[in-house]
Structure 1
Amino acid sequence: MPTLEKIEQTSRRIDDHIFRTPLVYSPTLSSQFDAHIYLKLENLQKTGSFKIRGAAAKLVRGCMQNTISAKGVVTASAGNHAQGVALAAREAGLPATVVMPQWSSISKREATRGYGGNIIINGATLEESVARAREIAKEGMTFIHPFDDEDIICGQGTIGLEILSVLPDVETIIVPVGGGGLIAGIGSVIKATNPRIRVIGVEAAACPSARMALRAGKCVSVPAEPSLADGISVKQLGEIPFRMIRKTVDELVTVQEADIAASMQILLDRKKLLAEGAGAAPLAALLNGSVRHRRDEKIVLLVSGGNVDIPLLGRIMRIRLTLSDRPGVLARLLNKVAALEANILHIYHDRSAQRSAIDETRVELELETRNDAHIREIENALKADGYAMEPTDCSGQGAGPTDPPVRV
């Protein structure tokens, strides 16, 4: 089980592989909540998330003890853990394979590839992706679980050490909770150092797996609704984190999507900080009043990451086609686009377009792509299959009046 001593050892091992991120005081938020509010900025960490800490801890210790296969490592993740493992493996000179679910964003896939990861798209859920990664590991690779692993938890726990080194008289730390590895590590450090410091976990109400686990007395799988905080939308808490959370976490609260969105906006507008949904969840817990605090209390909000999935200009492609209005034709087109690894943002299907014959229908698609080369690849593949595309803007600007807005 991760302990303060183990986490301190981990901190020394990974010190050259991570950033010691800032802990900054926010006068604006402090005034708003009548408390002393500090932000631990893991959105400024390597790969834009705290996940590199756990990944580095696993790889560095494994290489020291020769427990990592020479064939490399394999893991499963929808984004931040994927990037952390890919970077840590590259620095260790090892190949990394990452299984990502089908719904994972193109931007996070590309970021993982950029760090050297070999991407496999498999699974309708993260749990299915984990199962596939375990199968691949049987071929001789070392499997790295995204949160249910002692080394991973020790790596994440180093954040607690950094907070205490800068603000030893902190009174409350508010931490996002997904699989539980982050809060388990931080809670272990805090409670071993000063049990009077409150450790509060925040979940998205769309996926309260930790709350349900504590209520059931065991880890259970819960349904997950779409959430801005996709980084903490984990259907089942890890077994090791579950045991640790029961001992080291004082309270668990949930936040709604509107609270998360408002907190992301506040951090951007008032602090010029780009925080992903999970990273904004601690502020959301203050905003909605679910975390009660005393006047002048010293509170740290953990901004766990800043990898916001925004379709950037230059990656948006719009195509207009006229199709035969027969069953299955549109489905075949969408399957083709999916096979080309484009993300469908909007579909506009118009049977009444003036230029269409009675047996034809007009379709407009807005796609998120990797880059300009990917746009050309999609165009060529569709033309090769006989699709006649009308000229349109591929940059996300200058669209016609019937085009749906680009979401940014």
Structure 2
Amino acid sequence: MYLPSLAELDAAAALVYRAMPPTPQYSWPLLNEAVGTGVWVKHENHTPLGTFKARGAVVYLDALVRRAPEVRGIIAPTRGNHGQAIAFSGARVGLQVTVVVPHGNSVEKNACMRGLGARVIEHGDDFQASREHALALMREEGLHMVPSYHEDLVAGVASGWLELFRAQPDLDLVLVPIGQGSGICGAIAARHALGVKTRIIGVVSSHAPAYQLSFRAGRSIEAAVSTVVADGLACRVADAASLVAVLECADDVLAVTDDEVARAMRLYYRCTHNLAEGAGAAALAAAMQIKDSALIRGKKIGLPLTGGNVDAELFRRILQGP
């Protein structure tokens, strides 16, 4: 398994900072009280796109235009944040962007991608169906497929983890949501490069448990997707490359329900007045799930608030919960 060096990660971070500034990490008193220990929140909801995905796409597309200058158009399947990231970064390097989303996808994420200049195509009932259609369009139209997982994406995403680990090098544990794996692999790469001892535990949706089942089985396990709240975790099949890193380097993978995620979204808003989308609140949901365990008690933990792109109507319904 390849892990980039610190010099390589710092070079990727320099590219990221041409497009966006570092994001803050804060410890919120009310959140510490709720979790029962010291918590540092990494605010990736404060990037220009409201998602950590902004980092990886900048690095990937910078490398793409240098190694394949003949490419004029790119395409990717997405539930929204990945698509926003490649639309944003594609415009910066002069590429036409097409994204394929499943029917019923977030209305506001679709609108954002269109606003960033992307052609948005709705196809299929889940991410996997959208991916298959994107592959067909790639062949028909001669487009370059931007993967959901790639070493360049990981290097860009790792810049956020470098920021957190350098600011708080004595974190005992970080909990990291897993969609297609760039987030947790970025954490693994940064931990390895800096030599910190922080434990890394992945978090999936109970309604999209492919990575947890695969982690426990030691091989890829496909699983049905039914999450309504955590669309950023709606993965039916684990990416083969990211799964290798998860199997080798993650300490565990936990699963959280939509109800737990909704409670975490409310908790973030009430304790910090920050908006968290479902996937963005998954790490907090997992922390609340294990708050009475030895993993949490008396420890200093890090939680990435990975994104805040949730439709207003969905968030209104969530806030009305208990």
TM-score, L = length of structure 1: 0.73
Question: Is 1:57 the counterpart of 2:59 in the alignment?
Answer: yes
Q: Secondary structure at the match of 1:311?
A: helix
Question: Is 1:67 the counterpart of 2:68 in the alignment?
Answer: yes
Structure 1 segments, 4+ long, off by >6 Å, are: none
In 1, the alpha carbon distance for the partners of 2:313 and 2:267 equals: 21
Partner of 1:251: 252
Structure 1 294/55 Cα, relative in aligned 2: closer, same or farther at 3 Å? Answer: closer
Q: Secondary structure at the match of 2:313?
A: coil
Partner of 2:49: 47
In 2, the alpha carbon distance for the partners of 1:113 and 1:134 equals: 20
Partner of 1:316: none
| Aligned pairs for 1:194-273 within 5 A | 194=195, 196-273=197-274
Match of 1:38 among 40, 49, 55: 40
Conserved 8 A contact 2:210-2:222 = yes
Conserved 8 A contact 1:174-1:201 = yes
In 2, the alpha carbon distance for the partners of 1:86 and 1:41 equals: 21
Structure 1 187/31 Cα, relative in aligned 2: closer, same or farther at 3 Å? Answer: same
Q: Which amino acid aligns with 1:32?
A: A
In 2, the alpha carbon distance for the partners of 1:203 and 1:69 equals: 38
Partner of 1:372: none
Compute the displacement of 1:210 (Å).
0.8
In 1, the alpha carbon distance for the partners of 2:283 and 2:266 equals: 14
Q: Judge which range, 76-85 or 25-34, deviates more.
A: 25-34
Partner of 2:286: 285
In 1, the alpha carbon distance for the partners of 2:290 and 2:172 equals: 17
TM-score, L = length of structure 2: 0.91
Structure 1 69/113 Cα, relative in aligned 2: closer, same or farther at 3 Å? Answer: farther
Compute the displacement of 1:294 (Å).
5.0
Compute the displacement of 1:69 (Å).
4.0
| Aligned pairs for 1:325-364 within 5 A | none
Partner of 1:141: 143
Conserved 8 A contact 2:205-2:227 = no
Partner of 1:132: 133
Compute the displacement of 1:2 (Å).
3.9
Match of 2:29 among 27, 46, 60: 27
Question: Could you list the runs of 5+ residues in structure 2 that have no partner in the other structure?
Answer: none
Deviations 1:340-379 (A, max 9, x none): xxxxxxxxxxxxxxxxxxxxxxxxxxxxxxxxxxxxxxxx
Partner of 1:301: 303
In 2, the alpha carbon distance for the partners of 1:75 and 1:297 equals: 39
Partner of 1:167: 168
In 2, the alpha carbon distance for the partners of 1:220 and 1:68 equals: 37
In 2, the alpha carbon distance for the partners of 1:92 and 1:34 equals: 46
Indicate the structure whose relative CO is greater, using CA pairs within 8 Å and at least 6 residues apart: 2
Pick the structure with greater CA Rg.
1
Q: Secondary structure at the match of 1:48?
A: coil
In 1, the alpha carbon distance for the partners of 2:42 and 2:198 equals: 16
In 2, the alpha carbon distance for the partners of 1:130 and 1:33 equals: 37
Between the aligned residues of both structures, percent identity stands at 28
Q: Secondary structure at the match of 2:237?
A: coil
In 2, the alpha carbon distance for the partners of 1:233 and 1:44 equals: 23
